[in-house]
Amino acid sequence: MTAEQRGLWDVPAEDAPADGPMDPVAPAPVRAAPRILRVSDLNRRVRQLLDVDAQLADVWVEGEVSQPSFPPSGHCFFTLKDASSQIRAVLFREELAAANVRPEHGMQVIVHGRVRAYEPQGTYQLYVLTLTPAGAGDLHQRYEQLRAKLAAEGLFDDRRKRPLPRWPRRIGVVTSPVGVVWRDIANVMRRRYPLAELVLVPTHVQGAAAAGGIVRGLKRIYAQAGIDLVILARGGGSIEDLWSFNDERVVRTIAAAPMPVVVGVGHESDVTLADFVADVRAPTPSAAAEQAAPDVAQFPAILSRLRDRASTAMLASLTGRRRFLAEEDRALARLRPDVAAARQRAADLLDRGHRALGVQAAGARATLTALSDALRALSPAATLERGYAVARLADGTVVRSATQAAAGTALRVTVARGTLATRVEATEPPPDDEEELLP
Amino acid sequence: MTEPIGEEQLAGRPFDELIAELQRVVQALEAGNLPLEQSIELYRRGLALHGACEARLRDAELTISQLGRGLSEQPGAGDTEA
C-alpha cells in the first residue's frame, strides 16, 4: 500500500473533533478539502482489499444454484444462494468442462474458489474452480475407491481394448426402449448403416434395479449367437442418475464381454466407470451408434473405384495380350519362308541345269560329229573319195601287190563312184623293202 | 472364386462378404497373371458382385429385433432425458 493510499483512507473526517483543543502533532483535519475519488479508483481499492485476504482466496461454500446461464462465451454464470443470502458466481469455460456436473437451477452444490471484486461493475463475486453436487461427497469417495481398485486389477488397461468389427452384421443394444436414446441410436444406424440388424435388449437404466437389469441385459446379449458388438447407452443425468454405470457388477460384466462393447452414457462430461472399461467410449449414445458402424455414404465411391480398377485391369490385360499377339505376328512374318525367292532360286537352278545339260549335249554332239567324221575318214568310201581306187581280182580279192596280177588279168577297179572293168597290160614289181603304201 | 455367377446366390450373402470378394477379384485381376478365359470370367464375377453390392445398398433397410418382452415396470424418469 502506498503512502498516498493510506492518507486517503486512514483519516475518517467524522471522527475528528470539530472544535476544541487541537493536538499539536496531529495533522490538520482535511475536512476543508476532501479528496474526490474516481469510481475506478474506488473499485480498485476494494479489489485490492479483497485480493490480499488469504481466506477469501480459498473458500469452500455450499449453496443452491439459481438461474445459471450459459452464454456463447462458454462460461457459466449463476447465483449461489441460501435461505437468506446470495452471491454471484462464475464458472469459466475450462472449469466448467472439468466439472463432473453442469450447474442446474435448484441444484445443491459445494463450490471451491475465491472471492474477488469485479471492478467494471463494482460487484464482488465467487470465482468457482470446482463444483460438485452437495451430498455427492460420499458417492464420489466410493467412486474413487472403486475406480482405483478396478484400475489396479488392470480392467481399464488400453491393451484390453478390442477393435470394433469393421462391418458389424448384428449389433446388440442394451438401453431403455423408452425415450430418445434408443430412437437416436436406431436413427443413426438407419441413416449410416442400414445393412445391419439391431438387437434391442430393453432394460432400466435408472433406479435401484438398474444395475442388475443392465447386467442381465448384457449377459442376455452375450448369449446370443452372431452378435458382433454391443452398445450400452443412456441419456444424460445427474451423478445419481448415472450411478448404475459405476456399479462394480456392471463394470465387471462389461469387462467379461465376449465381443467389443461401446459405451455411450450421458453427456460429454459424464465419465462413468463403464466408460473406462468399455472397448470404445463414446461421449453420447448417438456417438456410440456412429462409432459402431461405418457410413454407407462412403460405399458408392468405394464400389465405383473397385469397378474402375477391375475394368482397368481387364483392359490392361487385353491390351497386353493384343500387343503380345502383334509381336508374335511380326515375329512370324520375319520367320515366314520367302516362296517367291525360293521359286526364283529354283528357276535359277533349273536354268543352270538346263544350261549345264545343254553344254553337255553340245559337247556330245561335237564328239559325235568328230567320231563320225573319223569313222568316215576310215571308211573306204572316204579314201576313194580322195581319189584312191581299190582293185580286186575276179574272185574279189583286193590287189595289194603287183605280183598278184599278171599281164592280161582282169581286174575290177572300184573308184569313188562306180567300178571299172580293166585288164592288166604289164606288171612292175615293187622294190623289196617297199611294203604296202597306203595313204 | 469359381462360384457360378448369379445374382440369386449373391443376394443371400452378407454385404461385407460381397465387397470383400469384390476386392479379392479386383486384386486378382490386377495381379494379371491369369489365362485370358479366367480373367474374363473373373471380370464378369466382379461386375456381378458390384451390381449385388449396389442393389444391397439401394434396398437396405435397418432390421430391428428385440430380445425379451418390453419392460413391464414403468420406465425410469431419466430415460426420456434428451
A207-230, pLDDT tens digit by residue?
778 899 999 999 999 999 899 999
Higher pLDDT, A79 or A356: A79
pLDDT value, residue A378? 64
Cβ contact, residue pair A205, B22, below 8 Å: no
Interface with chain A: mutation pick from B62, B65, B71, B72, highest number of A CBs within 10 Å: B62
Cβ contact, residue pair A177, B70, below 8 Å: yes
C-alpha to C-alpha distance for A175 and A181, rounded to whole angstroms = 8
Q: Given pLDDT bands bounded at 50, 70 and 90, which one contains residue A32?
A: low
pLDDT value, residue A2? 45
pLDDT(A332) > 70: yes
pLDDT(A15) > 70: no
pLDDT value, residue A417? 84
Amino acid symbol at A404: Q
The shortest CB-CB distance from B62 to any of A198, A206, A234 is to A198
pLDDT(A24) > 80: no
Amino acid symbol at A74: G
pLDDT value, residue B73? 41
Average pLDDT over every residue of B70-74: 47
Q: Given pLDDT bands bounded at 50, 70 and 90, which one contains residue A6?
A: very low
C-alpha to C-alpha distance for A188 and A295, rounded to whole angstroms = 10
Higher pLDDT, A188 or A390: A188
pLDDT value, residue A437? 47
C-alpha to C-alpha distance for A389 and A418, rounded to whole angstroms = 10
Interface with chain B: mutation pick from A268, A303, A321, highest number of B CBs within 10 Å: A303
Cβ contact, residue pair B79, A179, below 8 Å: yes
pLDDT value, residue A318? 85
Average pLDDT over every residue of A3-32: 50
Question: Which chain B residue is nearest to residue A242, measuring alpha carbons?
Answer: B78
What is this model's ipTM?
0.77
Residues A231 and A290: beta-carbon distance below 8 Å: no
CATH architecture of A31-134: Beta Barrel (2.40)
Higher pLDDT, A270 or A227: A227
- Model pLDDT for residues A228-241, shown as the tens digit of each residue: 999 999 988 877 78
* In the block, residue with C-alpha cell 465387471: A252
Residues B7 and B51: beta-carbon distance below 8 Å: yes
Average pLDDT over every residue of A163-192: 93
**What angle do the packed helices B36-59 and A299-335 form, to 10 degrees?**
170
Q: A154-293, which class in CATH?
A: alpha beta
Q: Given pLDDT bands bounded at 50, 70 and 90, which one contains residue A18?
A: very low
C-alpha to C-alpha distance for A424 and B42, rounded to whole angstroms = 127
Higher pLDDT, A178 or A15: A178
pLDDT(A4) > 60: no
Average pLDDT over every residue of A248-258: 95
Three-state DSSP at A349 gives helix
C-alpha to C-alpha distance for A122 and B53, rounded to whole angstroms = 69
Question: Which chain A residue is nearest to residue B81, measuring alpha carbons?
Answer: A235
pLDDT value, residue A255? 95
Q: What angle do CA A322, A328, A333 make, to 5 degrees?
A: 125
Interface with chain B: mutation pick from A176, A182, A305, A315, highest number of B CBs within 10 Å: A176
Cβ contact, residue pair A316, B32, below 8 Å: yes
Indicate the pTM of the whole model.
Answer: 0.52
Residues A292 and A262: beta-carbon distance below 8 Å: yes
C-alpha to C-alpha distance for A262 and A392, rounded to whole angstroms = 154
pLDDT(B39) > 90: no
C-alpha to C-alpha distance for A261 and A196, rounded to whole angstroms = 16
The shortest CB-CB distance from B64 to any of A181, A200, A224 is to A200
Cβ contact, residue pair A178, B62, below 8 Å: no
Q: Given pLDDT bands bounded at 50, 70 and 90, which one contains residue A29?
A: low
pLDDT value, residue A401? 83
pLDDT value, residue B6? 53
Order the strands of the A261-265 sheet from edge to edge: A280-282, A261-265, A229-234, A170-175, A197-202, B63-66
- Model pLDDT for residues A114-130, shown as the tens digit of each residue: 999 999 999 999 999 98
Higher pLDDT, A407 or A23: A407
pLDDT value, residue A194? 93
Average pLDDT over every residue of B35-57: 89
For residue B48, CA distances in Å to A307, A395, B37, B54 come to: 10, 125, 17, 10
The shortest CB-CB distance from B77 to any of A206, A306, A316 is to A206
Amino acid symbol at A354: H
Q: How high is the mean pLDDT of chain B?
A: 77
The shortest CB-CB distance from A310 to any of B29, B63, B66 is to B29
pLDDT(A436) > 80: no
> Which of A17-21, A171-175, A400-404, A406-410 has the weakest average pLDDT?
A17-21
Q: Where along chain A do its domains lie?
A: 31-134, 154-293, 295-335, 383-423
Per cent of chain A over pLDDT 70 is 87
- The full DSSP string for A251-288 is HHHHHT-SS-EEEEESSTT---HHHHHSSEEESSHHHH
Contacts with B78 from chain A: Cβ below 8 Å: 205-206, 234-235, 237, 241
Residues A202 and B68: beta-carbon distance below 8 Å: yes
Q: What is the 3-state secondary structure (H, E, C) of B29-64?
A: HHHCCCCHHHHHHHHHHHHHHHHHHHHHHHHCCCEE
C-alpha to C-alpha distance for A426 and A403, rounded to whole angstroms = 11
Residues A233 and A267: beta-carbon distance below 8 Å: no
Contacts with A169 from chain B: Cβ below 8 Å: 14, 16
Cβ contact, residue pair A200, B54, below 8 Å: no
Q: Given pLDDT bands bounded at 50, 70 and 90, which one contains residue A16?
A: very low
pLDDT value, residue B71? 54
Domains A31-134 and A154-293 share a fold: no
* In the block, residue with C-alpha cell 563320225: A372
CB pairs under 8 A between A and B: 147
Interface with chain B: mutation pick from A306, A308, A321, A323, highest number of B CBs within 10 Å: A306
pLDDT value, residue A153? 92
Nearest CA to A253 out of A227, A226, A281, A221 is that of A221
The shortest CB-CB distance from A176 to any of B61, B62, B79 is to B79
Question: Which chain B residue is nearest to residue A220, measuring alpha carbons?
Answer: B67
* In the block, residue with C-alpha cell 463394470: A251
Contacts of A237 (CB under 8 A, 6+ apart): A206, A266, A270, B78, B81
